[in-house]
Amino acid sequence: MPTSRDVVFVDGVRTPFGRSGPKGLYAETRADDLVVRVIRELMRRNPGLPPDRVDEVAVAATTQIGDQGLTIGRSAAVLAGLPKSVPGYAIDRMCAGAMTAVTSVAGGIAFGAYDVAIAGGVEHMGRHPMGEGVDPNPRFLSEKLVDGSALVMGMTAENLHDRYPEITKERADAFAVASQEKVAKAYANNKIQPDLVPMAIRTGALGWGLATEDEPPRPGTTMEGLAALKTPFRPHGRVTAGNAAGLNDGATGCVVAAADVAEELGLTAKMRLVSYAFAGVDPEVMGVGPIPSTERALRLAGLSVDDIGLVEINEAFAVQVLAFLSHFGIADDDPRINPYGGAIAFGHPLASSGVRLMTQLAREFGERPDVRYGLTTMCVGMGMGGTVVWENLAWEGAK
């Protein structure tokens, strides 16, 4: 049995992302049904993949109760019509859930335990707000293991502004405006739609409908508009609803496989997994997590940041992305960073976002045969970061 094989990203899709709450796209739609739709679309788009060749289904959710519980990887696989022989499981690494689903099954593929797997994530923050049902151990605060702000993500972002005073609210707002503009341009150029799966939705008031595009983006966002927003986490603070990702609902999924098996089945591999790393940081400044995880992933890959031609970084907060860019000496408006825009506009349904980053990077790779390496990275609640380095299989230098 092989003990180390190349792992490739074959295909990724997602539902349109919705705004959480009683008026959001998915207010009356189940979380597990979002996952089922994604799995079925992956199978439809890849007819060369026999359902019984799927060896594992790993699905992440941060709040694993209700319609996000019941070992959602397995339950969604059964609901999606995959053979009962296909196992599945659930993962929780907060925001990096789907990213961890991919790296977990990738390790199994490299080792030879799996040939093909489906990995993804879901978060219905309208039905399950972040922190629902949790009972933090009182020792966190009584023994000063973390500061009280560590458990409130917006406060950790304000802490980052304190740590990096050169990252002003104006810089954060400018980054947010640029993200909205890039998303609007990507939609206008049909860069996003090919990887969205239309999702049937229903409300008691309106009946049946179809979700075909993301609900959170706010095209036309201006610096003046953002300057007027409240700072909910601190009086006269710098973090607002405009320079942070919102509360959102959505699901993502992808097919990953051993390179030789993808070739055998006639599946078109888009990128190869080069390395990945997760790292811990002080929970009070969880937004710096992508810095050490990226340094470690690059070291494992034998690469430097100068070798990276495209970066998909999750925009949980603008300040967190700007801290990452400052550390690596990258300009705020570097075209390598989130070419299609990011979570400030698209939204961030926690555990699902890691595969959105990968799906967008794969599409960008296809358009950029001059780029060999890219990475997907994100900060993670409770003080972590995750990074995956990818090689573009459409790279012109490989021919």
Distances (CA, A) of 262 to 8, 341, 395: 8, 30, 18
HSE of 101, CA atoms in CB hemisphere, 13 A: 37
- Which residue of the set 124, 128, 254, 379 is catalytic? 379
Nearest CA-CA partner of 164 in 311, 278, 293, 332: 332
Q: How far apart are the first and last CA of the chain?
A: 30
Instruction: Give the DSSP per-residue string, 68-87.
Output: G-STHHHHHHHHTT--TT--
Instruction: Give the DSSP per-residue string, 261-290.
Output: HHHHHT----EEEEEEEEEE--GGGGGGTH
Whether 355 and 98 have beta carbons less than 8 Å apart is answered as yes
Clarify whether 236 is annotated catalytic. no
* Token representation of residue 294: 């990226």
Nearest CA-CA partner of 390 in 12, 36, 1, 48: 12
- CB count in 10 Å sphere of residue 92: 15
How far is residue 188's CA from residue 180's CA, in Å, rounded to a whole number? 12
Clarify whether 348 is annotated catalytic. yes
- CB count in 10 Å sphere of residue 134: 9
Whether 346 and 186 have beta carbons less than 8 Å apart is answered as no
What is the DSSP-derived secondary structure letter of residue 17? P
In the block, which residue shows the tokens 């341009």? 185
Clarify whether 254 is annotated catalytic. no
- Which residue of the set 124, 128, 161, 348 is catalytic? 348
What is the DSSP-derived secondary structure letter of residue 95? B
Provide CB contacts within 8 A for 189, sequence distance 6+.
none
- Which residue of the set 95, 124, 161, 254 is catalytic? 95
Largest CA distance in the chain: 61
What is the DSSP-derived secondary structure letter of residue 15? P
Which residues are catalytically annotated? 95, 348, 379
